């Protein structure tokens, strides 16, 4: 969840590190810190807040030295304070560490370190690593041996980078990503390729427990026993420009608007990859689809689409619940994992558990170099470019596009997705032009305590996703409800002060959902209809274009995303960086 970066090379480290942290800030934005080495001294500067403001206030830019580390934090252990911000130094200020992950046994380790005389300045689990390195180095005097010893004692998932006062930069990982970037003038060690992609596209993805050491002008790699190893250099492909927000006020707004194009990229799958992906799916005795948050909503929608068109029965399971239903999974099962980042801990854990049973793993990811893609027997990419806004928008419709492309292949191309691409793009263009309408609705909804969104069949996952967008961006309580379930309980919540949104384009659920809308209206509530046709039951109406009914989900989510964005602005919330959240959730 945190971002970590280390640099050693011919350039000044601080400006490079600030830029890297700015690009990785979506991983966590509670606090930020930098350490550089100058004339054999470690200089540390850190504070609570976002990269731009802390960096400006503390003058990061002017920190001297060509070696350094940096961190943005998503707090897990210890409050959001300056003391808990990384980097953390050991007692003698000869080593400083930035860490991402959770050291599960930090209490025991800390207790032992305190009893051997170490004193701690923070409440974090991370600080133990700095003291452990200091302790080990006093015994073995060799950084690789010290790393081997320290890593062998850590329990939990981690990636950390340490900088030593003698100018050595080292990093290691276990179940959290850590990637070495090789540029013309030096080396980066980063939790994300975005940390160095502006400087180089040559990367080494470290294996679990690998140790990377940059000493002098060279990079050395070791395995967990300290034996020298070689790892392949990968060329990373990415559209860098797309990570800027351009003329838009926020990344989130830009990413919502980009959907007119990105929705098509997910449908453009390489035929060979699509065939091998579908072959694995077709050979499965049982198919489980897993994901978290928005990606779980894609999984849920995939269940309806696969069933309706490809006649394949699948079971969607939240990744955080996956290990508790493992009894069903065996070598004839296929797990389809959906994840924008490909680094979500719950998803990776599900996949690892499934692999232990011999099940095959398929995935749909946005980042083809991610841990999930690497763990998969076959994967397809969403190809929507970097998504910076913490709330998933274009990656959601991108995931749906891949699901439609897979379904089309599975049903012998009877969906004809390729011939519908232009129509899909212009339908999205049409709903994007409804932005003024959503601004007016945001005014109507901004003072409510609760917002309900109803949908049936294909529209139910969209109701859930629309509610998630409103929750994360506006901090209002929003609930997606299966329209037919209303009478089984939630109707009790409705009174004359309620406003209920109803997703109801013309398809085989239309009449039932219209009846549900009437039932709500007769309790005095107001109704906002999202539909292809107006009706007297709607007090407010968002008119979406008539379309191929199976494809409606791609279209109808867009006004809900716009509404959530504009509601966030009305409530003075930062739509790009919602409080308490991080984009890549790499802890359990």
Chain contacts with ligand AGP (rule: CB under 6 A):
292-295, 339-341, 344, 347, 390-392, 468, 472, 585
Query: Alpha helix (H) ranges present in 363-449?
Result: 371-375, 394-410, 417-432, 435-445
Q: Considering the complex, state which of residue 1 and residue 129 has its C-beta at the smaller distance from ligand AGP.
A: 1
Q: How far is the CB of 391 from ligand AGP (least distance, A)?
A: 4
Q: How far is the CB of 293 from ligand AGP (least distance, A)?
A: 2
Q: Considering the complex, state which of residue 109 and residue 564 has its C-beta at the smaller distance from ligand AGP.
A: 564
Q: Considering the complex, state which of residue 101 and residue 293 has its C-beta at the smaller distance from ligand AGP.
A: 293
Structure tokens at 135: 């302790």
Q: How far apart, in whole angstroms, are the C-alpha atoms of residue 415 and residue 224?
A: 50
Q: Considering the complex, state which of residue 186 and residue 578 has its C-beta at the smaller distance from ligand AGP.
A: 578
Q: How far apart, in whole angstroms, are the C-alpha atoms of residue 265 and residue 366?
A: 11
Q: How far apart, in whole angstroms, are the C-alpha atoms of residue 13 and residue 35?
A: 9
Q: Considering the complex, state which of residue 346 and residue 408 has its C-beta at the smaller distance from ligand AGP.
A: 346
**Contact between residue 268 and residue 390 where contact means Cβ atoms under 8 Å apart:** no
Q: How far is the CB of 346 from ligand AGP (least distance, A)?
A: 8
Q: Under 8 Å CB-to-CB from 233, ≥6 apart: which residues? A: 182, 202, 203, 204
Q: How far is the CB of 1 from ligand AGP (least distance, A)?
A: 10
Instruction: List, in sequence order, every residue forming a beta bridge with 542; answer none if it has no partner.
Output: 530
Instruction: List, in sequence order, every residue forming a beta bridge with 581; answer none if it has no partner.
Output: none
Q: How far is the CB of 301 from ligand AGP (least distance, A)?
A: 14
* Residues catalogued as catalytic: 2, 583
Q: How far apart, in whole angstroms, are the C-alpha atoms of residue 299 and residue 292?
A: 9
Q: Considering the complex, state which of residue 31 and residue 366 has its C-beta at the smaller distance from ligand AGP.
A: 366
221-248 per-residue burial string, b: 16 or more CB within 10 A, e: under 16: bbebeeeeeeeeeeebebeeebbebeee
Nearest-CB residue to ligand AGP? 293
The angle, 0 to 180 degrees and rounded to 10, between the axes of the packed helices 271-283 and 394-410 is 70
Q: How far is the CB of 242 from ligand AGP (least distance, A)?
A: 17
Our CA angle for 287, 289, 295, nearest 5°, is 165
């Amino acid at each position: 969840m945190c971002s970590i970066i280390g640099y050693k090379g011919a350039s000044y480290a601080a400006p490079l590190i600030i830029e890297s942290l700015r690009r990785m800030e979506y991983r966590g934005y509670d606090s930020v810190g930098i350490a550089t080495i100058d004339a054999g001294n470690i200089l540390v500067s850190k504070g609570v807040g976002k990269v731009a403001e802390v960096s400006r206030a503390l003058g990061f830019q002017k920190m001297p030295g060509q070696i350094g580390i940096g961190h943005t934090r998503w707090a897990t252990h210890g409050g959001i304070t300056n003391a808990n911000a990384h980097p953390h130094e050991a007692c003698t200020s000869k080593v400083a560490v930035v860490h991402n992950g959770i050291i599960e046994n930090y209490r025991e380790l800390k207790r032992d370190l305190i009893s051997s005389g170490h004193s701690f300045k923070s409440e974090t689990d991370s600080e133990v690593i700095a003291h452990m390195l200091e302790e080990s180095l006093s015994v073995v005097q060799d950084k690789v041996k010290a790393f081997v010893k320290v890593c062998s004692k850590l329990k939990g998932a981690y990636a950390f980078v340490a900088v030593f006062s003698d100018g050595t930069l080292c990093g290691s990982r276990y179940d959290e990503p850590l990637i070495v970037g090789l540029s013309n003038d030096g080396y980066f060690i980063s939790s994300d390729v975005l940390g160095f992609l502006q400087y180089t596209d040559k990367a080494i993805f470290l294996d679990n427990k690998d140790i990377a050491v940059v000493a002098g002008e060279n990079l050395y790699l070791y395995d967990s026993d300290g034996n020298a190893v070689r790892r392949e250099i990968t060329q990373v492909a990415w559209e860098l420009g797309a990570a800027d927000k351009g003329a838009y006020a926020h990344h989130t707004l830009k990413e919502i608007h980009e959907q007119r194009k990105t929705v098509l990229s997910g449908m453009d799958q390489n035929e060979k990859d699509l065939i091998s992906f579908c072959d694995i799916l077709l050979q499965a005795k049982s198919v489980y689809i897993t994901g978290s948050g928005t990606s779980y909503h894609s999984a849920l929608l995939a269940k309806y689409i696969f069933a309706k068109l490809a006649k394949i029965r699948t079971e969607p399971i939240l990744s955080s619940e996956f290990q508790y239903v493992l009894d069903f999974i065996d070598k004839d099962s296929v797990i389809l994992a959906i994840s924008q980042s490909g680094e979500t801990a719950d998803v990776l854990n599900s996949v690892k558990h499934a692999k232990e049973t011999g099940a095959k793993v398929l995935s749909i990811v946005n980042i083809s170099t991610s841990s999930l893609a690497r763990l998969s027997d076959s994967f397809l990419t969403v190809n929507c470019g970097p998504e910076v806004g913490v709330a998933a928008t274009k990656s959601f419709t991108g995931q749906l596009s891949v699901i439609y492309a897979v379904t089309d292949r599975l049903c012998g191309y009877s969906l004809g997705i390729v011939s519908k691409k232009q129509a899909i793009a212009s339908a999205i263009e049409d709903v994007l032009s409804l932005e003024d309408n959503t601004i007016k609705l945001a005014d109507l909804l901004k003072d409510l305590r609760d917002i309900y969104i109803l949908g049936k069949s294909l529209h139910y996952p969209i109701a859930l996703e629309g509610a998630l967008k409103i929750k994360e961006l506006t901090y209002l309580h929003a609930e997606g409800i299966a329209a037919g379930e209303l009478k089984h309980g939630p109707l009790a919540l409705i009174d004359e002060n309620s406003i209920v949104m109803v997703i109801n384009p013309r398809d085989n659920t239309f009449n039932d959902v219209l009846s549900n809308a009437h039932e709500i209206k007769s309790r005095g509530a107001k109704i906002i209809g999202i539909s292809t046709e107006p009706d007297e039951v709607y007090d407010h109406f968002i008119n979406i274009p008539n379309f191929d009914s199976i494809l409606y989900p791609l279209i109808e989510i867009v006004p809900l995303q716009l509404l959530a964005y504009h509601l966030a602005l009305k409530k003075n919330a930062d739509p790009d960086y919602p409080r308490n959240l991080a984009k890549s959730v790499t802890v359990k």
